[in-house]
Amino acid sequence: MVMDVVEIQEVLPHRYPFLLVDRVTEIVKNETLHAFKNVSISENIFQGHFPGHPIYPGVMILEGMAQAGGLLAFQSMEMTKEEAAGKVVYFMSIDKAKFRSPVKPGDKLEYKISVLKNKGTIWVLKGEAYVDAKLVSEAELKAMIVDK
């Protein structure tokens, strides 16, 4: 299953400048999701992080993983668009976060999310972020889908 940004916005409540997934290239329900974000120098975050030496913040990479994980959870639960519109994903914890290499403007940040555990509305996910097939960040994410 492939999702473009319009379809992503039908599932996630995030909007510019905080929607951090541009496209989903693969979903295997209850297992994995592959997505990406194009990192552009025109993003507001680079005005202050850091002038003259722009680095995409690690917290934004983690948020992108979280959003991709939310997409995987929503798509795995096979809700209608109407049902999904009444739900939201709350992240409960981010553990074992590591940053291995800086992400810069012009990079294509690839997210690989996999399900470690799922029990009802609780999801434990492994998130990995890559640039040019090189691991740049990873974390374990725990989330719950709740009514708005």
Q: Which two tokens stand for residue 103?
A: 């992400």
Tokens 């590591």: give the residue. 98
Question: What are the φ/ψ torsions at residue 40 (nearest 5 degrees)?
Answer: -115, 145
Contact, 45 vs 58, CB < 8 A? no
Is 49 among the residues known to form the active site?
yes
- Cα–Cα–Cα angle for 6, 59, 119, nearest 5°? 70
Residues in contact with 54: Cβ distance below 8 Å, sequence separation at least 6, in sequence order: 41, 46, 104, 105
Q: Which residues are catalytic?
A: 49
